[in-house]
Structure formats: structure tokens, C-alpha cells
Structure 1
Amino acid sequence: MASLLKSRVECHDDMFGWWSQVDECYFRLEEPQPASTDPIWEGNYPNGAIYHAMCPGVVGSGGGWGWFPTPPDGFGAVTATPAELAQQAIDKMQLAGPAIGIAPPPGATGLVGLPVWLWTQVSPTTWGPNTATASVPGLTVTATARAKNVVWDMGDGTKVTCTSPGTVYTKGKGGGTSPTCGHVYQDPSAGQPDDAYPVTATTTWEITWTGGGTTGTLTVTRSSSTTIRIGELQVLVT
């Protein structure tokens, strides 16, 4: 009977899990894992994991739950760890640097001592939240990314950290200071490459993921760049 079962079973079953030729059972990782106080851990928590076995050739219950220090034979068919799948999910998100908004805009010239407004257009790829899932048979990981802050390197030796996407500038706002994210240049950009300050905005993304009975956190950064010209107000004396 056992040899007949070996010739007919599939390596993976969506309900029962992975087939082990050694044990002649299917094994499925329990999700979520039992509480750390559950006796099924046999005092081994947090090492190893709890799996459910289904053994079609066994008389009686045909399996049950148990602790394993390492994945059962055959469970190695899972071709990625939860952390590796988390990275695959992050890649699917296509996280980007800020979609830079700056006033005065490139092509215009700002003035020393006057406010510069900084912001990023908000979307799943530039600010979040952004969620994606990656899977292999028997294992699925879901990751969610949210922007933590944007650090603006203004090209004059100053870095501005903004914990919001910033406020979009419109003409009706006049010459006032941005309420959320901005900078004031103290020197003109003359003498810089193309007589403009290089501006680089770097978003720090915080990512949480869960799957395979485990969770984790990751941090990634993405950057975008632009330029801004700053001049001095010339006073005509007659």
C-alpha cells in the first residue's frame, strides 16, 4: 500500500502541504504558529516550528500536530525563505524616490533669503502605503511599506528632514514659508555647476512583513534629484 501511495501522491497539495518520501506523510506549516505557552512546543519555543502531518497510509488519525527543529523532509521544496519572499514583495512595489516638487521650480530663479518650498507628490510608490505579496507553493509573505521621512540635501551643505510629504506650493500662497517642509538659501548658486544647486531628496521607507509563521521589518531608501538656481536681489543706486 505504501509503495502504491508513493507512486500516486503529488509533491505538494494545497490543503495538506508538502509530501515527505521518508515519513510518507504530508506536512503543512501551521499559520499562525501556536502560542509560546502551548504544550505542543515541548519547551522548545521559539526554536523550530509546529507542523501538521497528514499520513494517508497510517491507520487511525493519520497524523497530527508536532514540533520539528527543522523543516520535515520534503518541505525543502519551498524554494525561498520568508525573508527572501519579503524582498520579492518589496521589488513588486516599485518604490521610488520622491516625485519632487520645488518652488521656485527648475528653470526659474529664487532669491537669497526667500523661502523655498519642498514636497513630493503622494502616491503608493512615492509615499505609500504600498502592499504586495510574494508566494511559492506552501508559503506566502505580505509586505507593507510606508515612508518615514524625506531628507533633502539642498546642495549648500544643508540637509532638511521632513516627516511629511510636504505642502504643494500654489500662487495663492504668496511668498510665505512652507508650513511643513522648506529651506532658505543664504548664498547664491553662482559658481555651482550650471550655476545651480544640486538638490537630492531621499525617502526612508519602513517595511513590515509577515508570512510562514514569522514577521520582520526592513528599511530601504530611494532618491531623486533636481536643481535650483538662487540669485541675489540687485538694488539699483542712482
Structure 2
Amino acid sequence: MRACTLLVLVLTCGSAMVASGAIATPGGPGAMSPPQQGGGSSVTYQKNTLLPPVSRPQQGGGSSVTYQKNTLLPPVSRPQQGGGSSVDSKDGEVRLGVWLEVVIPGSVTPGGNSGNPGGPVCYLRQGHFSELMAWLENHYVAGPDPGEVYILKICKTDQDFELATFWVYQPVPPPAPTVRETTRLRNEAWGQLAIPEPATHMAPSRVTVVHIPTYVWVPAADRTPISATIATTLEGQELSLTATAHPRRLGFLRADMGDGNTLWCDAQDVVEFDPTRDPLDQPSGCFHYYRHPSVNRPDLRYSVVVTAYWEVSVQCEFNGGPCPNPLPAVPTQVLVAPPRPIAVAEVQALATSGWVALSHAPG
């Protein structure tokens, strides 16, 4: 148990309530078996001191059971040799693991019952944190810890009832999702990404001229990151995966210009042509200089093919934190635009106004 936190569990054992002096009869509602030897650890409770932290027993010690909410814990038995026992929890259940036995100094000797008729009669009941605090006169230096369960051993003396021993059961951490499960969800989230096919834009749009820059880009919508999230529950714990696709930073756009040359553009250089600015002073860094006209081509034009490369990252969260198992990487997504024809002319002289006239119809 964590020394600084405990959970308030309002649980009943039939109609037995210690506060009223009524106690469950042996074998009836509320009767329980104490933890068997071989699991957990035992300490002596000292008022106004913290209990030592509970650590999981080594292989062969301790046990893991399933606690059904609002019902008694089953008897805790020594696990089989080889590493304890465990059962799967269902909805509304808390899996419990290691336990800590706490003996109350000065109390009656635990025991009695049918095995020792002359000794004090003791009963086991499942209590909640406020009841435990009342028995210990609020000297238990700890606060509620979500998931912990308490078993109280109450013994009858000549004068009154006493708390002789109590056990604190810790919940077992939820099982981490398997690589197979997270990979399946990764694929679902990845599959929901609608990465756009690139739409090729050029300036000049239809006819360009050798030895001047011909700009290539895709619209903003075709280079904006997109995300998709898949959420589910695993044994009551939240599991979510978010896949995000974004243009590859280096080498986002490849343009096969049709003249045997390939243009590679980083994501930051793929910017729309601005017709209000000088053609030689554009924000775009994605352009190509044709060296030869396209007059020798069968259709008098070059065919430009643009390919966009996207990276996909997946973030996995489980129970409020990162998933323990790394996810397999998603391969780079490659999308190819339909061929875009462009004619390349050769002129001896070109006025600035003429270039602008050619380049004012980008698309």
C-alpha cells in the first residue's frame, strides 16, 4: 500500500456493523478466512506512524484474486509454486494483488473460534477506511488510496470488541495492452486518415519558357496535417491511439518535370506562387529551369508528375499515461498526382511584361 493514500470503500457484510456491536456469526454472512501463510508480509502497527510500503512478493509468494465490488473477498490462499495465481477481472471488478497483515499491539490474541473454544471469539469482516480509522482512533497515518480493500479481524473480549488484526489488499495494476492490440488499433486510426491526393499547380500554368523559373506547388489543403483518434477500453481502462499525418519535412514533394530532370522540394519550400510579386522574387523555393523546348515531343508538351510524401506518427495512451509497448512504425505514405502537361517555348528575348502575361494564369 502507499503510505500516503488509501481508498474509502463502503462495503457491507450482510447486516453486520461493528459500530452497533452486532457481529456476523461464524460461517454466516460476513464470515471469512484469513490470508494463508506464504503470501504478503506482516508488520506491527504503531500509532501515528506510517506503515512500510508494500512490495510485490518474489516468485512463489503472494497471490492475486478478483474482488467483486460490494461482495466479500474470497479466501486468500498460497499460490502455486512458480509465481502466484491470477484471474481475469470483469466489468465492475478490481484485481487485487499483494497484501499487508497488520497486528494491533495490546489486542486479544487472534484465534479462538471453533479451533480454540476457550479463546476469544474472532470474526473477519470486510470494512471500509472510515471504520478502520474508528477502530484505530484515527491514529492511522494515511489517506484513502483508490482500489485498496481492508479485512478486519474483530475479537470479542469480556468487556467489548477489539480489532486484533487487519489486512490491506492492494489492487493489481491493469494489464498493459499487448503489441497485437495496439497494432490493430494503430491500423484502424491510420486507416481513418484521409490524406489528400496532390493537385499539381504550376506557374506559368500552360506555357513556360526556357531559362526562366517554372514554379510547382500543391494547394494548402494538400499539405495540412490531419489526425484521427481511436478510443476503447481494456478491462475498464481507457486506451486511445491518435494517428497524425504531416508532410515529410525533407523531400515532401517530388516533381518529375518531363524533360528527364527531377525536382525535390522540402515542405517549407512548397508555397503558392504570388502573382503580385516579381517572378524572380517569390516565397516559393520549389521551381525548375527548363533548358530545352518541348517542340520535339509528340504532343509538343512535357508531362509533369508530382508525388507527395507524408509521414504518419501514432501516439498511444493507456490509463492516463503512455503505452508501455512501442508501436510499430507506419511506413511513409506516397501519393501520386495525375500527369500535368506543360508546353515549353524558346524565345530570343523576353520582356518582363511578357513573362508576367505568361505566368498570370497559374493553376
TM-score, normalised on structure 1?
Answer: 0.61
Deviation at 1:67, TM superposition (A): 7.1
Does 2:264 correspond to 1:161?
Answer: yes
- What do you get for the CA RMSD once the two structures are aligned? 3.5
Counting matched residue pairs gives: 177
Q: Which of 1 and 2 has greater Rg?
A: 2
Does 2:87 correspond to 1:23?
Answer: yes
Alignment-derived partner of residue 115 in structure 1: 213
**Distance in 1 separating the partners of 2:188 and 2:298:** 39
TM-score, normalised on structure 2?
Answer: 0.42
Does 2:239 correspond to 1:134?
Answer: no
**Could you tell me whether the CA contact under 8 Å between 1:127 and 1:165 is conserved in 2?**
no
> After superposition, where does 1:27-176 map in structure 2 within 5 Å?
61=169, 63-65=171-173, 81-105=181-205, 108-123=206-221, 126-138=222-234, 139-148=239-248, 149-163=252-266, 164=268, 166-176=270-280
Deviation at 1:140, TM superposition (A): 2.3
Give % identity: 23
**Distance in 1 separating the partners of 2:255 and 2:197:** 11
The answer to which structure has the higher strand fraction is 1
Give a deviation string over 1:30-83, Cα, whole Å, max 9, x none. Answer: xxxxxxxxxxxxxxxxxxxxxxxx8x9xx9737412778x96xxxxxx9x6322
Alignment-derived partner of residue 6 in structure 2: none
Q: Which amino acid aligns with 2:347?
A: L
* Gaps in structure 1 of 5+ consecutive residues: 6-21, 28-53, 72-77
- Cα distance change, pair 142–227 in 1 and its aligned pair in 2 (3 A): same
**Distance in 1 separating the partners of 2:207 and 2:348:** 13
- Cα distance change, pair 207–195 in 1 and its aligned pair in 2 (3 A): same
* Gaps in structure 2 of 5+ consecutive residues: 1-67, 69-85, 92-146, 150-166, 350-363
**Could you tell me whether the CA contact under 8 Å between 1:114 and 1:184 is conserved in 2?**
yes
Q: Which amino acid aligns with 1:25?
A: S
**Distance in 2 separating the partners of 1:93 and 1:25:** 34
Give a deviation string over 1:208-232, Cα, whole Å, max 9, x none. Answer: 1122514444221112132211122
- Cα distance change, pair 170–190 in 1 and its aligned pair in 2 (3 A): same
Deviation at 1:173, TM superposition (A): 2.7
Deviation at 1:137, TM superposition (A): 4.3
- Cα distance change, pair 91–62 in 1 and its aligned pair in 2 (3 A): same
Q: In structure 2, the residue corresponding to 1:98 is in which secondary structure?
A: coil
